[in-house]
């Protein structure tokens, strides 16, 4: 009896989360075929500071017209951290963004704490007036990810994709 109750409670929680995501999708996307997430529910995925996440969320909203929350826990790379093989074009956009941030960190930039000023011009993040090297790099990474997400289809089955389905094999950043 207890096991059945726990299972029913878990089903209820999953249904509520999925309903909330559906509401986000309805409110924030031009079509069902054009989305992707940016935060993982996995506890071992590395967390980024709120400040850096806000810039990325804003750039995504500017480019796609959708909330960055629509990309939460999508596939294996959209969200914080990433592992395994990207599931689709949207997930590849997130993998490429992770690689861009990795290069920025290698170059001495603090991707978790650095922020930058930008404006939205014709659905493109404009950060050409930035003078700081790291701010320019981070804005470039975020802008390219948002452009990629705008073009990529959103496949609902990859929303809230469990990390254990991602596996261990993963592409290197040399792919780009």
Extract the annotated binding site for Ca(2+).
77, 79, 81, 98
Q: Considering the candidates 142, 163, 169, 170, report the single residue annotated as catalytic.
A: 142
Which of 81, 99, 118, 94 has its CA nearest to residue 172?
A: 99
Q: Does the annotation count 142 as an active-site position?
A: yes
Tell me the two tokens of residue 135.
């701010």
Burial code (b: 16+ CB inside 10 Å, e: under 16) for 78-87 equals bbbbbbbbbb
Q: Considering the candidates 91, 95, 97, 114, report the single residue annotated as catalytic.
A: 97
Q: Does the annotation count 140 as an active-site position?
A: no
Q: In Å, how far are 30, 63, 65, 140, 151 from 122, measured between CA atoms? A: 16, 8, 11, 16, 15
Rg (CA), the chain: 17
- The answer to whether the beta carbons of residues 145 and 77 sit under 8 Å apart is no
List beta partners, residue 119. Answer: 126
Positions of E strands within the chain: 119-121, 124-126
Residues designated catalytic: 97, 142
């Amino acid at each position: 009896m207890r096991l059945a109750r726990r299972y029913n409670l878990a089903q209820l929680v999953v249904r509520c989360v999925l309903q909330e995501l559906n509401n986000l999708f309805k409110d924030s996307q031009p079509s069902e075929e054009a989305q992707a997430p940016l935060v993982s529910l996995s506890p071992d995925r590395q967390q980024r500071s709120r400040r850096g996440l806000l810039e990325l969320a804003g750039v995504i909203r500017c480019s796609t017209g959708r909330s960055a929350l629509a990309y939460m826990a999508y596939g294996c790379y959209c969200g914080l951290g990433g592992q395994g093989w990207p599931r689709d074009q949207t997930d590849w956009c997130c993998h490429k963004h992770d690689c861009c941030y990795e290069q920025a960190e290698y170059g001495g930039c603090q991707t978790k704490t650095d922020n930058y000023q930008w404006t939205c011009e014709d659905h493109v993040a404009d950060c050409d007036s930035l003078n700081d090297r790291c701010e320019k790099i981070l804005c470039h990474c975020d802008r390219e990810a948002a452009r990629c997400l705008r073009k990529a289809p959103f496949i609902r089955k990859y929303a809230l994709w469990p990390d254990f389905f991602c596996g261990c094999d993963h592409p290197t950043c040399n792919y780009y």
